[in-house]
Amino acid sequence: MKAAIIGTGPGGLYAALAASKHNIQIDLFEKRSVGEGIVCGECIFDSLNIMKKPGRGLMHPVDEIVLQGRGCYTFPLGRHRKLWMLDRRTWQQDLAACAVNRGVNLHEHTKITPAHLQQMTKEYDWIIDASGAPSITSRLKGFSNDYFKNYLLAYQVVLAGDFRAVWPHIKIIFLQDIPADCQPAYAWIFPKDANLANVGVVCSVQGTMKKDKLDLKKVLARMIRTEGLNHAQELERGSGMAVAGMLSRLVYGNILLAGDAAGLTSPLHGGGIDMAC
């Protein structure tokens, strides 16, 4: 059997590793280098309690979450479920290396277009589309708008500064000054160590959101000032979206959708890692 996997996010990499155990010839395609273009808090929540401890890329386990709304509460989540802070680039590169060692053919800097995908359906027995949202399959089959009916929009930065007030915990801030139709919304401060953290905001969206309604860059800047982080150095920035629920159809001929491409995101926090793996 011959299969293709598009995308080297967690969904694509775990699919490649699983397929490699069953003597399936795998071609794994990534439009960038593995580990590039990540917009994520980089914290894995093992919501189903089934994941193995990450190898390379694991920064530290997280035992407690600081939750801030009208008040502030520290919740000992580590007693109930595993939570790991990652360097996701290193983690994904390690997963890709494991897949290659098992015989997976990795093709980096290879962009798959809808036309390429159409041709691939004739060349492979199965194709797993883990290309994110909106997926390449959606552009081929004409359902890209399905991803924007109800989705999450995020904006984040990587900051270098003093995060000793939070580390080794992580902090979630429920944003009460966000319009009701953009709720639920929250901000996060996820330190990788005492001097480096992912900091971002996320809100719920239905349809197109105009900047005059809610500018996430301004929301994030305000939160950074409020948390006393305005003197931290910005190293990276990025934005992204995730579907707020699973798509109604996941199989198109011999194409299977996986990860964010399938809308498999957590109903609790909106992230995709724990559902993809």
pLDDT at 236 over 70: yes
**Chain segment 122-161, per-residue pLDDT in tens:** 999 999 999 999 999 999 999 999 999 999 999 999 999 9
Provide the percentage of residues in the chain whose pLDDT is more than 70.
99
76-80, 132-136, 205-209: the lowest-pLDDT one: 205-209
3-class secondary structure, 66: strand
Provide the percentage of residues in the chain whose pLDDT is more than 90.
87
Let me know if 8 is exposed, middle or buried by CB neighbors in 10 A (0-12, 13-18, 19+): buried
Grade residue 211 by pLDDT with cuts at 50, 70 and 90. low
Grade residue 101 by pLDDT with cuts at 50, 70 and 90. very high
Give CA torsion, residues 82, 85, 88, 89, to 10 deg. -140
User: Helix count (H) and strand count (E) of the chain?
Assistant: 6, 16
pLDDT at 212 over 80: no
* Whole-number pLDDT of residue 270: 85
d(CA 205, CA 249) in angstroms, rounded, equals 21
pLDDT at 50 over 80: yes
Q: Which domains does the chain have, with CATH numbers?
A: 2-62+85-141+245-276 (3.50.50.60), 151-242 (3.30.9.10)
d(CA 201, CA 209) in angstroms, rounded, equals 15
**Chain segment 258-270, per-residue pLDDT in tens:** 999 999 998 778 8
